[in-house]
Amino acid sequence: MSRKMLIKPFHSIESTATASHNWRRRQVLRAGVSTIALALVAPRLAHASSVLGVRVWPARDYTRVTIESDQPLQNNQQLLQGPDRLVVDLNGIDLDQELRDLVSKITPNDPQIQAVRIGQYQPHVVRMVFDLKGSVKPQVFTLTPIGSYKYRLVFDLYPAVAPDPLMELLAQSERKQEAFDKTNPNPNPPPATLSGPTTAPKPLAQDNSDDFFQKYADSADLPRAPVASIPPIPSPAPRPTVKPAVPLAPPLAKKEDDDDNYAFSAPKSNSKPGTTRLLTVAIDPGHGGEDPGAIGGNGTYEKHIALDIAKKLRAKIDAQPNMRAMMTRDADFFVPLNVRVQKARRVGADLFVSIHADAFTTPDARGSSVFALSDHGASSAAARWLANKENESDSIGGINVRTQDVSVNRALFDMSTTAQIRDSMRYGNFVLNEIGGINKLHKGSVEQAGFAVLKAPDIPSILVETAFISNPDEESRLNDDAYRDKMANAIMKGIKRYFAANPPLAKNRMT
């Protein structure tokens, strides 16, 4: 074998080794270039966020501004004074038409925001300046995608001095008294009760409860029912901090065909002998603001239906001489479930009613329902499904979890008593009996489930599903103003029947 033949394989090995080294070097260089390119492109990708919608929900309680985008938005904010304003920088975004439209969405009647100015502050940084009408306590937080929503950046602007529902209720009672002062010059009319049957109605056949009647110790754009004239009410002597309730009006003339009046006396107040306190009903229109509730096939929003029925019910209650109503929301804005309960307890409500319009997975389900709280599981699979759905309201409407005292809220919701559930069942049966006169009942008895909004431990509470908004026929009925008025009237009758059969005890508290 020649020398060339012996040497050639070694040259081939050396060449192969060199080629392999060069290939690995090229791969390393290529990876390095890719890393550098990715580092340069990544910021541009981060700035590619698009705004999908901007919404504003003004209310006395607070004003909410929501910016929805396809990616999470980073922000910096600063609260300034002289004049009051909130400056917000949105990072990783460019000014587009959706953001520009925010300017036109600030209405003159917004309680918190005077105006908003928006501009491209820096490349990929949009600055928003909210000119405020007064001092606010802002809460800014983000929400991850849920339901039909993508990423949301939320600005909740709370007034520095929060409105007190009890003071508002007192002001309402004072207006009621002023109306009486103008129409009744007699300061001492005899106290009386409402006229009407003194016996409680028979329960539904499905209820089968022998001991049931035993006594025991306003979309803001929907039309509003006219307020009935206020019967004469005597004027009590003023007190510096506590306004005593007024005595009942003279007896109403009873008609043979009028079963709307049921005899019950307002309880005596412990604060002053010879006076009576007004019975307070807390009305809770379900959903609101970012949480539309169920949506019917023709686009009907549950939150608008619930608010209109609630306003009609409020008008009917306020027209009574010995009753008054408080609403957990009176406009289109979101109220967390625990806040609804807290508002009712703050005013010392005697009863609580939450108003909704049901939805199910199929359009065949129909009928009205009444629910009470359960401490041992739901009474049916449908009730459990509905309670879980309604309890998701906080996630859909959006709450700032950093401001929620979880331990306090859990303690509140664990305080529910057997007595509260018992009273709620009695109350619910009266209302269900009346609702059955205007619509088919989905089930002929009060159902039970773990609704968070019903967990006031000291207030009989029910949730009324007025109809299935997912059923085309019932959606059409819910869009009928006359039907909504009948539904409010039926709930009102049930409330009066409950008070007639179960007179509330006197309470030493604000009348």
Strands (DSSP E) contained in 194-328 are 279-285, 323-327
CATH class of segment(s) 51-159: mainly beta
**For 193-202, 279-288, 386-395, 481-490, which range has the lowest pLDDT when averaged over its residues?**
193-202
The token pair that represents 224 in the structure block: 């509003």
The more confidently predicted of residues 166 and 184 is 166
Q: What is the pLDDT of residue 216?
A: 28
> What does the pLDDT average to over 160-169?
86
pTM attached to this predicted model: 0.73
Query: In sequence order, what are the beta bridge partners of 130?
Result: 86, 116
Label residue 416 by pLDDT band (50, 70, 90): low
Query: In sequence order, what are the beta bridge partners of 370?
Result: 464
The DSSP call for residue 158 is E
Rounded CA separation 339/387 (Å): 18
> What does the pLDDT average to over 171-194?
61
The token pair that represents 479 in the structure block: 């869009």
Q: Where are the domains of the chain?
A: 51-159, 165-501
H or E element at residue 188? none
The DSSP call for residue 368 is B
Closest CA to 448 of 474, 420, 470: 420
Query: In sequence order, what are the beta bridge partners of 69?
Result: 51, 151
Query: In sequence order, what are the beta bridge partners of 116?
Result: 130
pLDDT higher than threshold 50 for residue 463? yes
Q: Which residue has the tokens 């028979």?
A: 202
Percent of the chain with pLDDT over 70: 67
What CATH architecture applies to the domain 165-501? 3-Layer(aba) Sandwich (3.40)
Label residue 433 by pLDDT band (50, 70, 90): very high
Q: What is the pLDDT of residue 77?
A: 93
Label residue 375 by pLDDT band (50, 70, 90): confident
Rounded CA separation 149/151 (Å): 7
Taking the CA of residue 144 as centre, how many other CA atoms within 13 Å lie in the half-sphere pointing to its CB? 1
> CA distances (Å), 263 to each of 211, 316, 500, in order?
20, 17, 6
**For 33-47, 205-219, 299-313, 444-458, which range has the lowest pLDDT when averaged over its residues?**
205-219
Q: What is the pLDDT of residue 154?
A: 96
> What does the pLDDT average to over 232-255?
37
- Judge whether 198 and 217 are in contact, CB under 8 Å: no
Closest CA to 353 of 490, 483, 445: 490
Average pLDDT, the chain: 78
Q: What is the pLDDT of residue 343?
A: 95
Fold match between 51-159 and 165-501? no
The token pair that represents 132 in the structure block: 């405020």
Rounded CA separation 332/292 (Å): 9
The amino acid that residue 265 corresponds to is S
